[in-house]
Structure 1
Amino acid sequence: MGTYATSRSPDQGVRIAYDKEILRNGWLLVDTWVPALILCSAYVSTVKVFLPRYMKDRPPLDIMSFIRAFNLFQVLANFWFAIQVGRRTYFGGSFSWLCQGVMGRDDPVTLDLLRLLYVYIWVRVVDLLDTVFFGLRHKWTHVSTLNVSHHCIVLLFGVYGVRHGADSHMTLVVLVNQCVHVIMFTYYFFASFGDRFRKYLTWKRYLTGIQLAQFFVLGVHSVLPLVFPCPGLPAMHSIVAISSMTFFFIMFARFYVQTYGGVKQELSKIPVSFGCKLLVENKSL
């Protein structure tokens, strides 16, 4: 079983992962919630209000070179971070697959992992450009509520984790998501070349299947600490993860059915208050 600080009570609840001295030393976005909330508000306002107004009477921009560079960056960054996180946790570290309590805040291994996860938050900040690129190309149907909300939720999820202990059972959410991003953005990179690689990219529908499998597996994994004793892990960690995975599973299941067909009668009964209209090109976490 993984390690955790035995001096903490298992029901202590959510706590700040770093001492204030460490947080004040350049840890933007995690010292308080204010910067992250401001960033998300600015992002939503930009892609839903200001960018549509700015581009209303302007032609779509030819920014395919920037998009390819963006996709390639996402592939390389997520691949590197997945290796680094994996070797510090489940593949080379002491993390338990079934129950991993929050590690000690003063432990050097813990701080190394949390610093790594903190830097990864900035990869997710760069990921916000995904929606901006859609707007600059007049792909307004891609600037869906789901596309916008998932970027904000994932960013806030990362901030929550670093503030309150991502060095725990929830680390698997980050690791699996990084691996899925490698697959996704590899596809998007080659798809950006058009007909040149089209014959090799006939598996697009399976991207959504991979995403659904991700949400389901991580949702089940997040339930385990609520069913079985898991010392050192606040219940709020599981609640936050389960809520996020459930939201995305429902929305992408509906998207899959609407796009590729399936058991429409069943999933169409799921209430949707977000007004999203998704296309195949929409990207996930």
Structure 2
Amino acid sequence: METVYDWYKDLMDNKSDPRVNDWPMMSSPWPTLAACLCYAFCAIKLGPTLMANRKPFELRNVLVVYNFAQTVFSAWIFYEYLMSGWLGHYDIRCQLVDYSRHPRAMRMANTCWWYYFSKFTEFFDTLFFVLRKKNEHVSTLHVIHHGIMPMSVWFGVKFAPGGHSTFFALLNTFVHIVMYFYYMVSAMGPKYQKYIWWKKYLTAFQMVQFVLIFSHQLQVLFRPSCQYPRPFVYWIAMHGFLFLFLFSDFYKARYNKADRKAKANNGLCMVVMNENGISLNGKNGYKQEVASEVPNSYTSSAADAFVRRRPVS
């Protein structure tokens, strides 16, 4: 235990970036770890239990404001990452951390801290799902993604606030601009949801992000002259692989099954008609009539066996 404690003290005191030691939540990893564990417990157990016998909250206006704020916040962080390095000053192939007090280096470190802070504001995504009793959205993917990111980013801010690995944060904040804009429009109601037909492609966009992240990290391994710390390369590349797997699994479960179901529903189905022309196997308050349009490959006599649905008047 003494050996472990000495190693921990040396890591925190001598290996970390002294510029950030006095910044909020940066002196120790334990408050961040506690926050992540508390989040997971509340998301999985406490929140659903407290809401079990309560009516879901109507939070449309709150969601619009929250997602607008997150869109603007993400846009600002993205801008700061560009201006403090990635817009002309950083080399995408290999970029070491500037630990100096130069204004641009300090601006990058400050941006990294705000990116870390944004991982806590994203906890509200889960809170709103729980309050609205949308527990099906609090999936394993959702909890893992939100639960481990603050801790992961804490290590980046503590030991390497800048340089090569901030490319993943740059990409992630850009994706979040698009994502929270989508959520904002979605929360505005059915009138506006026709403008967000691209939901399926948002998930694909996120998966492309993870491919770019681990590709950008691992290419450093083929550059022996690049002295960027390898632990961060492996750590961020692992996150890219993990989230690519989880998001692709979600994509297949959500959209591939939905596509198959849509194709099945679009297929013409047979029904049994009684003497009044009403389907004997109609359901859910609908009566069924002979379809006015059938594929050209079917004869008019066969058309009588195919139907379309309309509400009962």
Task: State the TM-score, normalizing by the size of structure 1.
Answer: 0.81
2:234 aligns to what? 239
Contact in 1 for aligned 2:68/2:184 (Cα 8 Å): yes
Greater CA deviation, 172-181 or 229-238?
229-238
Q: What secondary structure, in the 3-state scheme, does the structure 1 residue paired with 2:18 have?
A: coil
* Alignment map for 1:210-229 (pairs within 5 Å): 210-229=205-224
Amino acid at match of 1:100: Q
Matched to 1:75, the amino acid is T
Is structure 2 residue 175 aligned with structure 1 residue 180? yes
Counterpart in 2 of 1:15?
Answer: 15
Question: Of 24, 30, 39, which residue of structure 2 is paired with 1:28?
Answer: 24
TM superposition shift of 1:107: 3.9
**2 CA distance for matches of 1:166 and 1:242?**
17
- Which amino acid is 2:16 matched to? I
**Superposed CA offset, 1:213-235 (max 9, x none):** 00001110010111212533110
Q: 1:69 is matched with which residue: 37, 40, 65? A: 65
CA distance 1:213–1:83, change in 2 (3 Å): same
**2:18 maps to amino acid:** Y
Q: 1:58 to 1:163 in 2, by over 3 A?
A: same
Residue in 2 aligned with 1:58? 54
Deviation at 1:105, TM superposition (A): 4.3
**CA displacement at 1:58 relative to structure 2:** 0.6
Partners of 2:174 and 2:114 lie apart in 1 by: 17
1:113 is aligned, of 100, 108, 115, to 108
Q: Give the aligned residue type for 1:68.
A: V
Cα gap change, 1:82 to 1:133, in 2 (>3 Å): same
For 1:231, what is the secondary structure of its paired residue? coil
Which residues of 2 match residues 1-285 of structure 1 at below 5 A?
A: 15-19=15-19, 22-24=20-22, 27-92=23-88, 94-261=89-256
Q: Is the 8 A contact 2:16 2:158 kept in 1?
A: yes
8 Å Cα contact 2:186-2:192 kept in structure 1: yes
Pick which of 29-38 and 191-200 moved more: 191-200
Aligned length: 244
- TM-aligned CA distance change 1:202 to 1:105, over 3 Å: same
Structure label with greater radius of gyration = 2
Which amino acid is 2:185 matched to? F
Shift in Å, 1:120: 2.6
Change (3 A) 1:108 1:201: closer
Please report how far the alpha carbon of residue 41 of structure 1 lies from its aligned counterpart in structure 2 after TM superposition.
1.1
2:141/2:247 contact within 8 Å kept: no
Give the TM-score normalised by structure 2: 0.74
The letter for the 1-side match of 2:198 is W
Name the counterpart of 1:6. Answer: none
**8 Å CA contact 2:115, 2:169 repeated in 1:** no
Residue type of the partner of 1:127?
E
Q: Retained in 2: the 8 A contact 1:124–1:155?
A: yes
List gaps (5 residues or longer) in structure 1: 1-13, 263-285
| More relative contact order, 1 or 2 (CA 8 Å, 6+ apart) | 1
What amino acid is the match of 2:123?
A: L
Deviation at 1:110, TM superposition (A): 1.7
1:69-112 CA distances to partner (integer Å, 9 max, x unpaired)? 111011000011111111111214x2101011122244443222
The 1-side partners of 2:190 and 2:60 are apart by 14
Counterpart Cα distance in 2 of 1:64 and 1:137: 10
The answer on whether the counterparts of 2:165 and 2:236 sit within 8 Å (CA) in structure 1 is yes
How far apart, in 1, do the equivalents of 2:180 and 2:187 lie?
10
